[in-house]
Amino acid sequence: MGILEETKGLIEVSVDELGLPKAVYQHLKEPQRLLIANIPITMDNGEVQSFTAFRSQHCNVLGPFKGGIRYHPEVCMDEVKALSMWMSLKCAVVQVPYGGGKGGIICDAKNMSEDEIERLSRGFVRSMLKIIGPEQDIPAPDVYTNPQVMAWMADEYSMAKGHNAWGIVTGKPLIVGGSLGRLEATSRGCFFVINEACSKLGLSLKGLRVAVQGFGNVGSYAAQLLENAGAKIVGVSDSSGGIANEAGLSVDKLMDCKAKTGSVSEYANGDKISNEQLLTMDCDVLTPAALENQITGDNASDIKAKIVAEAANGPTNAEADKILTDKGVLVCPDILANAGGVVVSYFEWVQDIESFYWSEEQVNTRLKIKMTDAFTRVYDFSQRKQVPMRKAAYMLAVQRMGEAMQMRGWVKKAK
Ligand code: NAD
């Protein structure tokens, strides 16, 4: 079963078990609007090439659509739809007033020039002009899009409207309405979730043994925050392989090594391991921070971590989820564990609307409150209803959207 069908299945079960009207599921099983655009761009060689772009606007019952745009040769409609559903769920879990959105352009960004990427990004905004806006749908960076791309998009939108509208996208550079703390927000949010999960299991961050899969934006900063809090990073990996050391790896040195050699697996002070070995190594906390579908029925029973904190989107498939739950592993699901990014995106949008910018400390303090509150709600619900954390997070999110639908009259109230 693909990620879209798995996500729909979990939403349907949540609607049923919560006793919500079936019509709630009818609203949530498909995006409210799906736009496909054809964007013709003049390439550097003078030829015109057409790119297919998608924007999925899943559900705006709680607020404007919000979610990233990815530039990737394999982006497809089902992926964008599923990712927009996760965004709706994520925003509802952490109680930020947004609905889910996601976009993508089928392109090989790695082999395009900066000028071509700029023209494509501006073309995307022009083709979506009628359906995006600070009060309608607010894109953000995702795979192979970055603050520079967001700056071009904000500029194109502002030019079209005749005034600066920084609130149109988040994840912007600071100079054009970005927020302090946005770069590390997803990792910091995940760090707060791990902290709370540890306290529930009576584990201290001091000496906690952590393995991190994926040493990119999210994985590297998460490792750094954990190390600063006294944890031992006993293993890390990236797409070229991994490295382990029971005595602990230095995150600063790993960052240097990755910058110089391209991979953490070249780090001298440790034993080379494969990605498969990293996932099943002896540790207290495993943080998958790379790709979807890494923990599966094939390896879940070998996982030794007591806590799995899903920094990546969709790293655990349904079969593995059941195995981990039966083993008593505390799984902090993606829609909770990696929601720090959208929380600080929300803070960025609020700052843009008010034209009043916060200190990094204010951003981080408010992020901590949001993430710890969300963890507590999900954990308490899972204990009260005796359901795994993922199911608890889905049920709380669906409950919130379902209640708003009933209040707004989108569905008849349950008797
Ligand atoms: P990134 O591209 O910066 O880093 C990804 C890392 O994963 C890289 O180090 C890469 O080498 C590694 N990787 C790729 N394939 C791997 C494999 N098979 N085994 C081990 N490592 C592998 O991406 P990112 O922004 O850090 O995002 C990581 C994950 O977190 C994604 O699932 C993304 O959807 C999710 N996420 C990111 C954010 C954010 O704010 N960046 C927010 C929410 C969720």
| Amino acid type, 185 | A
CA distance 265 to 15: 45
Asked if residue 1 has pLDDT above 80, the reply is no
Average pLDDT over residues 157-167: 98
C-beta atoms surrounding 336 within 10 Å: 32
- For the record, the structure tokens of 365 come out as 């303090």
Helix, strand or coil, per DSSP, at residue 295: strand
Determine the pLDDT at residue 251: 98
CA distance 5 to 290: 22
| Strand (E) or helix (H) holding 128 | helix 114-128
The pLDDT of residue 3: 80
Order across the sheet with 33-42: list the strands: 33-42, 48-59, 99-106, 65-72, 137-141
Q: How many CB atoms lie within 10 A of CB 325?
A: 17
The residues carrying an active-site annotation are: 102
Phi, psi of 357, rounded to the nearest 5 degrees: -100, 145
Nearest CA to ligand 1 atom 32: 312
pLDDT confidence of residue 228 = 98
Look at ligand 1, atom 8, and give the residue with the nearest C-alpha. Answer: 216
CB contact set of 192 (below 8 Å; sequence gap of 6+):
340, 367, 368, 371, 372, 375
385 alpha carbon – ligand 1 mean position (Å): 32
Which residue has a Cα nearest atom 30 of ligand 1? 312
DSSP state of 91: H
261 Cα–ligand 1 center, Å: 18
Render pLDDT for 268-305 as a digit per residue (tens, 0 to 9): 999 999 999 999 999 999 999 998 899 999 999 999 99
> Order of strands across the sheet with 241-244?
271-273, 241-244, 232-238, 209-213, 285-288, 307-309, 330-332
Number of other CB atoms surrounding residue 313 within 10 Å:
18
> What tokens appear for 344 in the block?
């600080």
Residue 102 carries which DSSP code? E
Question: Would you tell me the crossing angle of helices 3-18 and 389-408 to the nearest 10 degrees?
Answer: 70
Q: How far is the CA of 167 from the centre of ligand 1 (A)?
A: 26
Dist CA 157 CA 266 (whole Å): 43
Q: Which protein residue has the closest C-alpha to ligand 1 atom 17?
A: 239
Contact 176, 154 (CB under 8 A): yes
Which 3 state secondary structure label does DSSP give 391? Answer: helix
pLDDT of residue 261: 96
Q: Whose CA is nearest to atom 18 of ligand 1?
A: 239
Residue whose CB lies within 8 A of the most ligand 1 atoms, among 74, 190, 217, 342, for a mutation test: 217
Domains of the chain, CATH where assigned: 36-176 (3.40.50.10860), 185-332 (3.40.50.720)
Each residue of 27-75: pLDDT tens digit?
999 999 999 999 999 999 999 999 999 999 999 999 999 999 999 999 9
Q: Which residue has its alpha carbon closest to ligand 1 atom 33? A: 312
Minimum-distance ligand 1 atom for the alpha carbon of 258:
9
- Residue 186 CA: nearest ligand 1 atom is 40
CA of 5 to the centre of ligand 1 (A): 23
Give me ligand 1 centre to Cα 305, in Å.
20
Distances in Å between the Cα of 264 and the Cα atoms of 251, 260, 274 are 10, 10, 12
Tell me phi and psi for residue 214, to 5 degrees. Answer: 95, 120
* pTM of the full structure: 0.96
Find the 214 Cα to ligand 1 centroid distance in Å: 6
Q: To test the ligand 1 pocket, which listed residue (70, 86, 186, 295) has its Cβ within 8 A of the most ligand atoms?
A: 186
Q: Out of 179, 239, 317, give the residue to mutate to test ligand 1, the one with the largest number of ligand atoms within 8 Å of its CB.
A: 239
Percent residues over pLDDT 90 in the chain: 96
Q: Is 405's pLDDT higher than 90?
A: yes
Query: What would the DSSP string read from start to end of 279-323?
Result: HHSS-SEEEE-S-SS-B-TTTGGG---SEEE--SSS-B-HHHHHH
Contact 270, 246 (CB under 8 A): no
pLDDT at position 415 over 80? no
Strand pairing category for 65-72 and 137-141: parallel
The pocket around ligand 1, CB under 6 angstroms, is made up of: 186, 213-219, 237-239, 275, 289-291, 311-313, 338, 341
What is the pairing mode between strands 33-42 and 48-59? antiparallel
pLDDT at 414 over 80: no
pLDDT of residue 218: 95
